[in-house]
Amino acid sequence: MKNLLKEDVRREILGRIDSLSPSSKAQWGRMSINQALRHMAMAFQISNGELNPTHPHPPKMPKWLLKFFLLNVRPPKEKTETFREMNMVENHVEPASFEEEKSRLIQAVSKFGGENLLPENKLAGKFSRDDWGKLNYNHTDHHLRQFGA
């Protein structure tokens, strides 16, 4: 899995974000483009402790196995649960400004890794800087593919 802490990977992701437009449509799932941009930006807040989300149904597998899947396997296109606080559809969050949400995500990607990253992922156990880099790439890549970027 690619690592968002690597500069070439960061540039790739930023270019893909830049290719999005207000008319970008989801190829799967129920989020609008504005909701997806907010959702992706919020995910970066987990790795530095700004957001401590709760999962509606924590996976019933050992942490080491979940960590393996999170870092090495692309998430399935549909029916992947998210943290309650980041569920834009269920929480009826509909950000009004595409440009503001896009800017927020670009800022999150650009500053990622410069702050202190947590030594543990609450669902998957001990996490290194590289683990956070891989997880944030995997999650962002998943949603960018969702919108054709």
Predicted pLDDT of residue 115: 79
Predicted pLDDT of residue 79: 66
Question: Are 48 and 117 within 8 A, CB to CB?
Answer: yes
* Interior angle at CA 127, CA 69 and CA 71, nearest 5: 20
Predicted pLDDT of residue 39: 96
Predicted pLDDT of residue 80: 74
Q: How far apart are CA 122 and CA 63, in angstroms?
A: 9
How do the domains of the chain map onto residue ranges? 7-146
Beta bridge partners of 120: 126
Report CA torsion sign: 123, 82, 61, 139: negative
Predicted pLDDT of residue 56: 75
Averaged pLDDT in 10-residue chunks for the chain of 149 residues: 96 98 95 97 95 83 92 79 87 95 98 91 94 96 96
Q: For 65-112, give the secondary structure using H, E and C.
A: HHHHHHHHCCCCCCCCCCCHHHCCCCCCCCCCCHHHHHHHHHHHHHHC
